Amino acid sequence: MSDLIFDVRNVTLRFGGVVSLNDVSLHQGRGEILAVIGPNGAGKTSLFNSLTGLYRPQEGVITFQGRDGVPLSIIGKKAHRVSAAGVARTFQASRMFSALTTFENVKIGAESHRGIGVLGAMVRGPRTRRGEHESDQRTLDLLAFVGLQEKANVVSASLSYGDRRRLEIARGLATNPQVLLLDEPAAGTNPAEKIQLTELIRRVRDERGVSILLIEHDMKLVMALAERLYVLNFGSVIAEGTPDEIRANPAVIEAYLGSAEQTEDRA
């Protein structure tokens, strides 16, 4: 199984007496669009935070395999190290640098992994300028990719919810990741934006070769995008399978979707 990008084994995360993730195991193949669903409080965002180095689970192993093929153990690594290894993410409530422009937001992602030279930054020699130029090109390219080139110089706080999601995706892609973790990308977007977003996420995988790990409540979007799903409930994985298998899984319907009729409505 050398083509796994994420291999999560028996991860348990506790906050005092509260068990947020309980013996969670899951894996993601390279190039896969994987979704994690589950009711509120099931531990989805905790899982994301553990995968990106923001939380430190007490037990278990998380292995990430970057482009160089060297496995990296995530637990205990700082978030910026995880980002440098090739894991990018978006946040449930968009976390942009609100007072900066769209362009600046993405550029920060594009240049964050370059070395820092104080003197270089002050003197602006040829190397610095070349670096700046590359970052600018990369930023423009990504803004065009997500369709925000018209809004490059707009202060990001004034973007609509849908545009904020695209901005976060562009900023994540700017760090040149292997996998992009999307935490409820469709929250707060309107139906038209949802369709565009679905298309954009698929293009991220197809055109950029970036694997996608997705948390989402919008079943329509999940079922349309995900190739495989995990269902979390009370911090444990209760089911795993293709969208069709999950739809038919009685445990999932019981825990998450409530009843069969509702499934039909939401799907």
The binding site for other proteins (CB under 8 A) comprises 52, 54, 78-80, 83-84, 88-89, 91, 95-101, 104, 107-109, 111-114, 116, 118, 121-124, 128, 131-132, 135, 153-155, 157-158, 171-172, 174-175
Least CB distance to other proteins at residue 98 (A): 6
Least CB distance to other proteins at residue 182 (A): 13
| DSSP letter string, 2-47 | TTEEEEEEEEEEEETTEEEEEEEEEEEETT-EEEEE-STTSSHHHH
Query: Given the complex with other proteins, which of 15 and 244 has the nearer CB atom?
Result: 15
Residue matched to tokens 């609509």: 160
Query: Given the complex with other proteins, which of 46 and 175 has the nearer CB atom?
Result: 175
Q: Which two tokens stand for residue 242?
A: 């293709």
Least CB distance to other proteins at residue 17 (A): 25
| DSSP letter string, 69-122 | --EEE-TT--HHHHHHHTEEE--SS----TTSBHHHHHHHHHHTTSPP-HHHHH
Least CB distance to other proteins at residue 260 (A): 39
Q: Which two tokens stand for residue 123?
A: 């003197």
Q: Does the CA dihedral 135-90-63-74 come out positive or negative? A: positive
Query: Given the complex with other proteins, which of 104 and 141 has the nearer CB atom?
Result: 104
Distance CA 137, CA 74 (A): 31
Residue matched to tokens 């973790």: 181
| Buried b / exposed e along 21-54 (16+ C-beta atoms within 10 A) | bbebebbbebbbbbbbbbeeebbbbbbbbbbbbe
Query: Given the complex with other proteins, which of 54 and 195 has the nearer CB atom?
Result: 54
Q: Which two tokens stand for residue 73?
A: 């153990």
What are the residues facing 24 on neighbouring strands? 11
Query: Given the complex with other proteins, which of 51 and 219 has the nearer CB atom?
Result: 51
Query: Given the complex with other proteins, which of 65 and 175 has the nearer CB atom?
Result: 175
Between strands 59-65 and 179-183, the pairing is unpaired
Query: Given the complex with other proteins, which of 125 and 209 has the nearer CB atom?
Result: 125
Least CB distance to other proteins at residue 97 (A): 4
Least CB distance to other proteins at residue 226 (A): 23
Least CB distance to other proteins at residue 18 (A): 21
Least CB distance to other proteins at residue 194 (A): 21
Q: Which two tokens stand for residue 257?
A: 């979707």
Query: Given the complex with other proteins, which of 129 and 203 has the nearer CB atom?
Result: 129
What are the residues facing 15 on neighbouring strands? 18
Q: Which two tokens stand for residue 152?
A: 């490059």
